[in-house]
């Protein structure tokens, strides 16, 4: 169910649900692009203050879930 609230009303609608299936076969990985992504993930210079990388909050040992969640 999807609930939508506005200042004057509340409505309920049925959300469409679609089954997500795994991708068949082995994934194709471009090692050069993966290496660039790894460096960007760990680079604090991309943050607004230049001190925090994606890796600071997203632990790959927990599938990228935030430590603070």
DSSP bridge pairs for 10: 5
- 26: tokens are 């082995």
Secondary structure of the chain as H, E, C letters: CEEEECCCCEEEECCCCCCCCCCCCCCCCCHHHHHHHHHHHHCHHHCCCCCCCHHHHEEHHHCCEECCC
| pLDDT band for position 61 (cuts 50, 70, 90) | confident
Structure tokens at 33: 């692009």
**Model pLDDT for residues 3-31, shown as the tens digit of each residue:** 555 666 666 667 788 898 888 998 889 99
Identify the band that residue 65 occupies on the pLDDT scale cut at 50, 70 and 90. confident
Supply the pLDDT for residue 51: 95
Token pair in block for residue 23: 């991708």
For range 45-58, the mean pLDDT: 93
């Amino acid at each position: 169910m999807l609930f939508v609230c506005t200042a004057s009303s509340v409505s309920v609608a049925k959300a469409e649900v679609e089954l997500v299936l795994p991708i068949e076969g082995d994934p194709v990985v471009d090692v050069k692009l993966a290496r660039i992504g790894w460096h960007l993930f760990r680079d604090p210079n991309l943050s607004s203050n230049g001190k925090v990388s994606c890796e600071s909050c997203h632990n790959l040992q927990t599938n990228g879930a935030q430590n603070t969640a």
